[in-house]
Amino acid sequence: MQIGIIGSGNIGGALAHGLTRAGHDVVLSNSRGPDTLRDQVAALGDHARAGTAADAAQADVVMVAVPLRAVGDLPDPALFDGRVVVDANNYYPGRDGQIAALDDDSTTSSELLAARLPGARVVKAFNTIPAGRLRDDGHPELAPDDRPAIPIAGDDEAAKATVAGLVDDLGFTAVDHGALADGRAQQPGAEVYGAELTARDARAVLA
């Protein structure tokens, strides 16, 4: 499966590392352009290449791992129509600026991304786990319930199944706890955010 990554820093880099090791072809992108990703791509091997964010948006699955304030700078929303878009972003006002609709909890950061990309099939995932653990803590040898959890939320069941498959490839287990709006239960400050939970335990917390 071809996977595009928009934002190739801590979390995008960890995703690229694990997904290429699992045999997926990955297109990495950032804000400064493909030339600046040459070393990172070389270190990842033959399954990785650098592109523009618009190139990455053409993949089967597109990971968005940018500071939330940069969501407005994503390429033409039409490029994302029909694609599975994984939202790994979090809202940190100190970094992103105050966003009133998030401050008063009338919406969620993933719903803001979905509003920006109305044709995309947005799934919230990978936002709760620190990048270092995403890179190093996958355990494919463990039974699914005993692996570290990756909470996911979204409105499109087929898209969530696709993302759950990628989570599995990385040695984690996806814990689907509902619609995109339910993703507020995995935002910063929520019980599962940053917690080291097995899938079994995360399912109990999110029930």
Site of interaction with ligand NAP (CB under 6 A): 6-12, 29-32, 53, 65-68, 70, 73, 88-90, 127, 130-131
DSSP string over the chain: -EEEEE--SHHHHHHHHHHHHTT-EEEEE-SS-GGGGHHHHHHH-TTEEE--HHHHTTSSEEEE-S-GGGGGGSS-GGGGTT-EEEE-----HHHH---HHHHTTSS-HHHHHHHHSTTSEEEE-SSSS-HHHHHH---TTS-GGGSBEEEEEES-HHHHHHHHHHHHHTT-EEEE-SSGGGGGGGSTTSTTTT---BHHHHHHHH-
Q: How far is the CB of 143 from ligand NAP (least distance, A)?
A: 25
Q: How far is the CB of 88 from ligand NAP (least distance, A)?
A: 5
Which residue, judged by CB position, is nearest to ligand NAP in the bound state?
Answer: 9
CB nearer to ligand NAP: pick between 31 and 146: 31
Q: How far is the CB of 40 from ligand NAP (least distance, A)?
A: 9
Q: How far is the CB of 67 from ligand NAP (least distance, A)?
A: 5
CB nearer to ligand NAP: pick between 136 and 157: 136
